[in-house]
């Protein structure tokens, strides 16, 4: 196979180069702006504008340097570290926590080097100047990148600022990967073509219902790359994809213009669980098996207990006000108690502020049957007539869930986890859905902040299973933050 020439799409080649260069230059500018503002801002805040107060002396007699020079050196070194750690690599911008980790890791190592140099040469740098500049710089850099991420997410919904991807593999594996990439356009991979390893009924490219050109046989990859203007080749599984054929595919790519990605047959596995290790020339992927006991889970229980205790103390005035409002506006008890299924299939009594009229559960089966939802393990009634006027407001802002803080405090629930469901819903679980029961149910979770009432059961279970397989305390904090935003600004998806 010859090296691909994209002469048929010169404007696409130029566009792809331009967006990556433009993005890199934009990040350089904003990083520099942030660091100048932070470092010189800390210098002025610590020393003031009086230049007589910003000199420091080292052990050497001829060493007398102004702190403005130190600030300039720190900024230049910081910018170099951000470059060395590839924090501006287009492949990681907007794609997850890797970008933030690289920024924090590089910054910590740079300031560690500053501390070592200061110690070796006995340079008495002001500790406050350093101790403030480091965390503040990392925080503002992260904020800057977060703003970039929001902007990129909007642009990538339409395929802008994204790699143009040609998928290669069996029809089934290509279709699966296409679906998963379409779920997350913010990751920056826009599928522009497919090449199925097995033969097609027709020789010419056709869409096959996928909306992009579909080619047949591996020998069509070169033509497909040229005709679609793809700059990234993602190879999935297929009987025809032998190690030799994948190696030949890599030989025909231009390293300056193209990327080769080999997609393992894994989905919904978070990055920290994956470790790549080359063994005998083979890039073996080690995937950690989830564990559901041990110190990590003990830490989650401590986090839940302290978090629930603090939230109950802070929200106690609101809880009292909501109790009075519920009692004053409708007949019945303030707290609604219902048996739910929790950890390992054990039942517990879950508490909520009552948002429906009394004896609402007796009407559930009839309403589900009328809407044809009785056979789905997600008992949701559209335009539910049982909800009180105040209950609509409570549910929209998730205020009816607040009494579950006591469930968390006493250990039957967690702050974050799969939502607890009724006995009838759990009875409809398949084997995959039963894995939701490996963790304590949560007040909030991925599907609550990822779509709430608008999600289908298939999407809800996919998000819950992803959480069960990949949960972490850092992830819990992110979901808590997104939950707070959903409570304050629920949008049209909350019912």
**248 lies in the same domain as 303:** no
Please, what's the largest Cα pairwise distance for the chain?
Answer: 90
CA–CA separation, 169 vs 295, rounded Å?
41
**306 lies in the same domain as 362:** yes
For the chain, the domain total comes to 3
**93 lies in the same domain as 118:** yes
Q: Domain limits at 415?
A: 295-493
**pLDDT above 90 for 70:** no
Give the residue from 250, 265, 280 where a domain finishes. 265
Least confidently predicted of 62-76, 340-354, 412-426, 463-477: 62-76
**85 lies in the same domain as 202:** no
Q: Which residue has the tokens 């599984």?
A: 237
CA–CA separation, 211 vs 232, rounded Å?
18
**204 lies in the same domain as 339:** no
**299 lies in the same domain as 417:** yes
Phi, psi of 196 (to 5 degrees): -85, 135
Predicted model pTM: 0.69
**104 lies in the same domain as 225:** no
Cα 85 to Cα 20, 107, 109, 328, 481, distances in angstroms: 17, 10, 11, 60, 28
Report residue 14's pLDDT band, with 50, 70 and 90 as the boundaries.
Answer: very low
**94 lies in the same domain as 136:** yes
Tokens of 27: 């990040």
**311 lies in the same domain as 187:** no
- Residue 136: its H or E element: helix 127-156
Residue 274 lies in a domain: no
Rounded to 10°, the helix 10-47/67-84 angle is 150
CA–CA separation, 458 vs 433, rounded Å?
10
Q: Looking at per-residue confidence, does 61 or 315 come out higher?
A: 315
In the predicted model, what is the mean pLDDT of residues 437-449? 88
pLDDT of residue 10: 46
Phi, psi of 278 (to 5 degrees): -75, 125
**350 lies in the same domain as 446:** yes
The string of pLDDT tens digits covering residues 216-232 is 888 888 888 888 888 88
Q: Which residue has the tokens 């566009």?
A: 15
The string of pLDDT tens digits covering residues 158-206 is 888 888 999 998 888 888 888 888 888 888 889 999 998 877 655 555 5
Residue 275 lies in a domain: no
**185 lies in the same domain as 112:** no
CA–CA separation, 87 vs 81, rounded Å?
9
Cα 50 to Cα 55, 128, 325, distances in angstroms: 10, 17, 59
Burial 441-453 (b: 16+ CB within 10 A, else e): bbbbbbbbbbebb
């Amino acid at each position: 196979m010859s090296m691909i020439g994209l002469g048929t799409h010169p404007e696409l080649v130029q566009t792809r180069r331009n967006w990556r260069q433009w993005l890199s230059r934009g990040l350089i500018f904003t990083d520099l702006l942030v660091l100048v503002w932070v470092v010189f801002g800390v210098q002025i805040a610590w020393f003031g504008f009086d230049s007589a107060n910003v000199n420091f002396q080292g052990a050497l007699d001829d060493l007398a340097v102004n702190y403005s020079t130190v600030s300039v050196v720190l900024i230049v070194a910081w910018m170099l570290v951000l470059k060395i750690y590839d924090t501006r690599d287009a492949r990681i911008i907007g794609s997850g926590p890797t970008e933030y980790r690289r920024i924090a890791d590089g910054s910590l190592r740079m300031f560690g080097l500053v501390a070592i140099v200061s110690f070796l040469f006995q340079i008495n740098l002001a500790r406050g100047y350093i101790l403030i500049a480091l965390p503040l710089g990392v925080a503002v850099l992260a904020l800057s990148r977060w703003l970039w991420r929001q902007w990129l997410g909007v642009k990538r919904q339409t395929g802008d600022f994204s790699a143009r991807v040609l998928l290669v593999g069996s029809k089934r594996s290509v279709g699966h990967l296409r679906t998963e990439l379409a779920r997350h356009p913010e990751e920056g991979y826009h599928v522009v073509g497919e090449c199925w390893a097995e033969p097609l009924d027709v020789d010419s490219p056709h869409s096959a219902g996928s909306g992009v050109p579909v080619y047949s046989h591996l020998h069509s990859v070169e033509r497909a790359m040229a005709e679609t203007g793809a700059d990234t080749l993602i190879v999935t599984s297929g009987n025809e994809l032998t190690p030799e054929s994948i190696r030949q595919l890599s030989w025909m790519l231009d390293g300056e213009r193209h990327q080769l990605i080999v997609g393992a047959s894994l989905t919904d596995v978070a990055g920290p669980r994956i470790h790549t290790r080359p063994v005998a020339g083979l890039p073996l992927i080690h995937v950690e098996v989830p564990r559901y006991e041990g110190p990590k889970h003990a830490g989650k229980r401590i986090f839940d207990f302290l978090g629930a205790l603090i939230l109950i103390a802070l929200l106690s005035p609101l809880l009292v006000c909501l109790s009075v409002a519920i009692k004053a506006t409708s007949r019945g008890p303030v707290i609604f108690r219902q048996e739910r299924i929790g950890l390992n299939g054990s039942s517990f009594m879950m508490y909520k502020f009552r948002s429906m009229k009394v004896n609402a559960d007796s009407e559930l089966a009839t309403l589900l049957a009328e809407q044809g939802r009785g056979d789905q393990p997600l008992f949701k009634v559209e335009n539910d007539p049982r909800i009180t006027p105040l209950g609509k407001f409570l549910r929209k802002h998730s205020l009816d869930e607040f009494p579950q803080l006591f469930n968390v405090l006493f250990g039957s629930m967690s702050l974050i986890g799969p939502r607890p469901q009724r006995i009838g819903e759990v009875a409809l679980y398949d084997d995959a859905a039963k894995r939701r029961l490996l963790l304590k149910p949560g007040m909030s979770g991925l599907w609550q902040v990822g779509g709430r009432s608008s999600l289908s059961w298939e999407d809800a279970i996919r998000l819950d299973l992803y959480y069960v397989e990949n949960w972490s305390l850092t992830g819990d904090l992110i979901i808590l933050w997104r939950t707070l935003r959903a409570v304050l600004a629920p949008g049209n998806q909350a019912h």
